[in-house]
Amino acid sequence: MTEALRIALVLPDLLGTYGDRGNVLVLEKRLRWRGIATETVTILSSSEQLPSSCDLYVIGGGEDVAQQAAVRFLNRGKGLRRAVERGAPVLGICGGLQVLGTEFTTGDGVRHDGLGLVDAVTSPGQGRAIGEVSTESTIDGVGMLTGFENHLGRTVLGSGSSPLGRVLRGTGNGHDDAEGAVTGRVVCTYLHGPVLARNPTLADLLLEWAVGRPLPELPELPVLEALRAERTRPPARARK
Ligand code: GLN
């Protein structure tokens, strides 16, 4: 590839409440460490529309009202749908998962259409799910995933999606021990963190899809390994 790999940071002014833009910093860094040029395109809600030509799309979490505005924006021009149809990977976090899903009902009980890019229906649970989560990923080579969840919505997957992981600790989707939703190369999760800072295997999976070839391994930072060990240990009350 001669041109820079283009990462789209989608609507951080709407879906940027939980620091998920950090995922883009991780993607940039892991590309540059490998000598691959990259450029980030930030699409704000004041932009005309979302370009369909980016190589990878990142959508963060946010509040219910912001999610509705995001659906309206993303339905205009259909750039995201066209990108997905040509196989561009998409990462959607929490509110982003709900927006990418088929429908979501907000805390006020009102049902909204989502973009329908993953087969997932969200409705409010009994109180917010807040805290550390760990899961075992269902995707080969990704392994254990950890993150922090903070959401009211609970998500049921339809037959067109599979979970990103099986919950070991925390709530996740709140149904069937499932966490997240994957359809093709659209990968959604409730994990903040930002998730890619905490889970480099997931970052590299998305990058390999975007670049179109396997990437050389990178040495892991010792500080990250220590943090992972801490976060995957059972909570203190469960230990003898
Ligand atoms: N508003 C959504 C919910 O509470 C998403 C929250 C989030 O993105 N963390 O379920």
Domains of the chain: 5-232 (3.40.50.880)
Distance 56 CA to ligand 1 centre (A): 22
- Is the beta carbon of 14 within 6 A of some atom in ligand 1? no
Is residue 191 within 8 A of residue 179, CB to CB? The reply is yes
Write the burial class of residue 8 (CB in 10 Å: 0-12 exposed, 13-18 middle, 19+ buried). buried
Q: Where are the strands (E) in 165-237, listed by range?
A: 165-169, 178-179, 181-183, 186-189
Per-residue model confidence as pLDDT tens for the chain (240 residues): 468 999 999 999 999 999 999 999 999 999 999 999 999 999 999 999 999 999 999 999 999 999 999 999 999 989 999 999 999 999 999 999 999 999 999 999 999 999 999 999 999 999 999 999 999 999 999 999 999 999 999 999 999 999 999 999 999 999 999 999 999 999 999 999 999 999 999 999 999 999 999 999 998 888 888 888 887 776 666 554
Is residue 205 within 8 A of residue 215, CB to CB? The reply is no
The residue whose two tokens read 């950890």 is: 146
94 a catalytic residue: yes
Ligand 1 pocket mutation pick from 104, 108, 152 by most atoms within 8 angstroms of CB: 152
- Assembly ipTM: 0.96
Q: Could you tell me the pTM of the whole model? A: 0.95
- Is the beta carbon of 172 within 6 A of some atom in ligand 1? no
Distance CA 191, CA 172 (A): 8
Distance 150 CA to ligand 1 centre (A): 7
Distance 141 CA to ligand 1 centre (A): 28
Distance CA 152, CA 130 (A): 9
